[in-house]
Structure 1
């Protein structure tokens, strides 16, 4: 049997993050790509039963004190579509869903808890299934580079987020629309550079020091403008030499943990008797849950050469939309 790791045709970043996933991906046949791993099937079944039970408990336990909960089909569909793109490309869920929910007439106090609680579940679920689909390799004992990168992104982004939120509230000198447009312009530039790099075939060289800067900037962007974490982290990893499929998985897992912190904060407020609106949680979580199962499978099936164009291209679209909305064009 030939050594798969020594094949010159395998497009893996030398010594970089996502190397194992790249080797597995390059050696799969079409039939192997389409087949669902047995371990993934078991996990999906268990999670499906757990989801049904937890949704029932949430509606009964939280709905009464929070003014009621309800499943809205239109919100479920929109959440499913946007979480599918988010779990497949690492971006777009909060950025796209929040404005649409505002257009639907929902208040921020109902939108924010729903997004954070849902993203905490879907992000962690998506990261787990990306691992089971071999889009990324997470190893805890001993922790491999992928796990260490998740921890690095969480820690640095959290520090930058806290500092940026503090400065924004203390200074309050930047118009919100300007900040949103600024982050969007940067996402457009990063996406365009990613497309150009793929088009001209620039060799992938792993540059770990870049990841520190991108992690700090992602946290600062989220603290200043409320968004931008997914696009900045995903594109930042890719531009640092991380394998595309693994970059998406790492972003999902990282954002899931960060959202969990925010979601637990709202649950603490609720426990202390503060008014928290959980009206949208069942709808957003339902759509996001099933999307977080489907998207890792799509990432597994579609060749990485497609994602090399699709991820930065989608980032450009999101960035342009953000510029238009941020500047009120």
Structure 2
């Protein structure tokens, strides 16, 4: 019995090490390809039509997306919230950033959901509660993304953002205080937090993950399930937002979108494995701390 358990653990860690080595090899090969592309272009041996990023910028965007999506797929928050300000500081325009982030989050959300299922963090096929939670959040996301556009001109974005920051801070405190408690599942809590998060996403383009992940945990959803469900629900929200953008604007800056999507997608397999290894209480506390940090940063930015 004991021997079988030890063998199972060893087999699991062998599989994890193989995934880690494969992941490192893919990341390394991608970075080499980026550097090689720059060298060939500088030597005049490679001609790229249209606008393209310089090699240094391309590599920086790839690494930033890799790091931010690892954070997002591990804890259910932080990709758009962290990456968008970094890209703005780097000199990119908002109309370049928003559709690129939405497109990459659409892909990574679907990939993260599939990998969370494969790694055993959630079972959407057998877990009725998880399917119900995803269904509620996805429906509210679509309604919120469209509804927010219709009412944005009537609501003060500043005071709405202040309210969101306060809610994020509250969710962070509650999540930390209840990290070791098993909370009864409440669909009403999912409905309330999903509606607020959907409107926040529609009005500001960010802040979805902190509210939805911590809100699920506070409403009784296991932390590992909450992270996986947030990834899937946010991908649905991004699909709606990207569709609206394409209808209104009709184009995407692929020079920024491709390195973002590549870096983000490569982070997913190692991020979902990280979630599998973390104990429930540790994961819930990490979600709470990160929610608090993001809430403080948002409040400081609004009041500064």
TM-score by length of 2: 0.80
Name the structure 2 match of 1:149.
133
Contact 1:33–1:301 (Cα < 8 Å) also in 2: no
1:263-284 Cα shifts (integer Å, max 9, x gaps):
34555667xxx45423211121
Q: What's 2:41 paired with?
A: none
Name the structure 1 match of 2:218: 239
Preserved CA contact (<8 Å) 1:269 1:276: no
Q: State which of 104, 113, 135 in structure 2 corresponds to 1:127.
A: 113
Q: Which runs of 5+ in 2 are unaligned?
A: 2-6, 31-47
* Match among 265, 270, 289 for residue 289 of structure 1: 265
Contact 1:83 1:288 in 2 (8 A): yes
Moved more, 79-88 or 157-166: 157-166
Q: How many aligned residue pairs are there?
A: 276
- Aligned-partner SS, 2:121: coil
What's 2:199 paired with? 220
Which residue of structure 2 lines up, in the alignment, with residue 98 of structure 1? 84
Query: For the residues of structure 1 that align with 2:169 and 2:101, how far apart are their CA atoms?
Result: 24
1:302 maps onto 2:278 in alignment: yes
Kindly report which structure 2 residues correspond to 1:167-206, keeping only aligned pairs within 5 A, or say none.
167-169=151-153, 171=154, 173-174=155-156, 176-198=157-179, 201-206=180-185
Report the Cα offset of residue 253 of structure 1: 0.8
- Conserved? CA contact 1:211–1:236, under 8 Å: yes
Query: For residues 180 and 321 of structure 1, what CA distance do their matches in structure 2 show?
Result: 12
RMSD: 3.1
CA contact (8 A) 2:133 2:187 kept: no
Q: Could you say which structure has the greater relative contact order, defined with CA pairs below 8 angstroms and 6 or more residues apart? A: 1
* Kept in 1: contact 2:142–2:240 (CA 8 A): no
Partner of 1:252: 231
Q: Indicate the residue corresponding to 2:287 in structure 1.
A: 311
Q: Does the 8 Å contact 1:165/1:224 carry over to 2?
A: yes
Q: How far apart, in 2, do the equivalents of 1:69 and 1:144 lie?
A: 46
How far apart are residue 165 of structure 1 and its match? 2.2
Match of 1:136 in 2: 122
Matched, 1:111 2:97: yes
Following superposition, the deviation at residue 256 of structure 1 comes to 1.2
- The alignment's TM-score, normalised by the length of structure 1, stands at 0.74
Instruction: Please say if residues 145 and 240 of structure 2, whose CA atoms lie closer than 8 Å, have aligned partners that are also in contact.
Output: no
